[in-house]
Amino acid sequence: MTKGVKLALFAVLIIFLGALAALVFLRRPAQGTWVEILQENKVLYTLDLSQEPDRTFRVELPDGSWNEIRIEDGTICISDADCPDHTCVRTGKLHSEDIPIVCLPHKLIVRYCDPPEES
Amino acid sequence: MKTKRLTELSLLTAAALIAFIIELRLPDLSAIPGVKLGLANIFTVYAVYRFSCKEVFLMMITRIFLGALFSSNFSAIIYSLAGGILCLGGMLLLKRVIPANYLWLCSIFGAILHNTGQIGAAAILTRTPAVLAYYPFLLVSGCIAGLFTGLCAQYVLKRLIRRKTDQDNG
């Protein structure tokens, strides 16, 4: 085992353990009930899941593509979309503060947010 | 480029494409985008240790373009390219430091760099830094997948070298 190999092995171990630690740290369950839906970093909706009635609605993009958002018993998920990969649909319900539902082709994000300030 | 080498490279590209298409048909391992085995990487790592920089690069680009064509997912090609080029560049450099019997180590780095390139491209191009939240997942899965594909490539390489020396002796 040469010095280069040892160094590489060490680097891999550090990256792996670091990522693992970050995973454990990131696994924060949802704390609030406020959720925002963003498209290209612009907030389209801000919703309070504890107040929302069960419903399904579509978020349409200017070019006609869409994502269907479903709110059910205080949970939110993307139930259908016309994007090519459907990753957003397979992600399932939003359940973590730090891991948003992302639809890359449509640049759409559903994530938890802070409650808006009372004015 | 000699005909024999050209044929060998084409064959490898075809085999990598087949692995890529088979993997598309497998159910997703996880809901996180980008978490996958990367079976096609077996052929890339193998090629890194058998062919020159230019040859592997050509092979990789061909595979990415044809792969996008076959999977009819052209919108993802920019992410594949970003990941692929970073992965290949890193592995070609590491080849100088890491000998063939530690090939799996090189493959792990390749997987890490591939995921880095992909998620970096996704965060920059879509201007949504939130996707970086997936990065730790991708790193952990990338290490495991890279180890697996690297070991596969290492066994193939070992057998091929043994067979070659047998032929030379016989």
Q: State the CATH number of the domain containing residue A88.
A: 2.60.320.10
* A58 in contact with B, Cβ within 8 Å: no
Asked if residue A118 is part of any domain, the answer here is: no
Whether residues A45 and A103 share a domain: the answer is yes
Total of domains in chain A: 2
A103 and A71 co-located in one domain = yes
- If you average pLDDT over each of A67-71, A115-119, B34-38, B155-159, which comes out highest? A67-71
Q: What 3-state DSSP class applies to B97?
A: coil
Do A64 and A43 fall within a single domain?
A: yes
**β-pair partners for A57:** A69
Residue A117 lies in a domain: no
Distance, in Å, from the CA atom of B12 to the CA atom of B48, rounded to the nearest integer, reads: 12
Judged against a pLDDT cut of 90, whether residue B143 lies above it is answered with yes
Same domain, A47 and A101: yes
Nearest to B121 by CA among B25, B19, B26, B33: B33
> Does A24 touch chain B if contact means CB atoms closer than 8 Å?
no
Nearest CA-CA partner of B86 in B74, B78, B97, B75: B78
One domain, residues A38 and A22 = no
Region B130-151 average pLDDT: 88
pTM greater than 0.80 (yes/no): no
* Domains within chain B, CATH numbers bracketed: 3-25+36-158 (1.10.1760.20)
Q: How far apart are CA A98 and CA B158, in angstroms?
A: 44
Is the CB of A4 less than 8 angstroms away from the CB of B136? no
Based on the fold, state whether residues A100 and A45 are members of the same structural domain: yes
- Tens digit of pLDDT for each residue in B65-108? 999 888 877 777 888 899 999 999 999 999 988 888 889 999 99
Is there a single domain that holds both residue A75 and residue A58? yes
Which band of pLDDT confidence, cut at 50, 70 and 90, is reported for residue B168? low
Q: From chain A, pick out residues whose CB is under 8 angstroms from the CB of B33.
A: 85, 87, 102, 104
Angstrom distance (rounded) from CA A6 to CA A12? 10
Question: Are residues A3 and A40 located together in one domain of the fold?
Answer: no
Sheet of A101-103: strand order equals: A42-48, A34-39, A108-112, A101-103
The pLDDT tens digits for A68-84 are 999 988 889 999 988 88
Q: Is the pLDDT of residue B112 over 90?
A: yes
Same domain, A65 and A105: yes
Beta bridge partners of residue A43, listed in sequence order: A38
Q: Which domain holds residue A65?
A: 34-112
Tell me if A70 sits within 8 A of A79, measured CB to CB. Answer: yes
Strand partners, A68: A58, A80
Q: Which of B24, B96, B102 to mutate to test the interface with A (most CBs of A within 10 A)?
A: B102
- Regarding whether A89 and A50 lie in a shared domain, the answer is yes
Q: What is the pLDDT of residue A118?
A: 64
Across the range A3-18, mean pLDDT stands at: 88
Q: Do A84 and B73 touch (CB under 8 A)?
A: yes
The pLDDT of residue B54 is above 80? yes
Same domain? A20 vs A38: no
User: pLDDT, tens digit, for every residue of A25-55?
Assistant: 766 666 778 888 988 888 888 888 888 888 8
Asked if residue A103 and residue A59 are part of one domain, the reply reads: yes
Is B112 within 8 Å of A98 when comparing Cβ atoms?
Answer: no
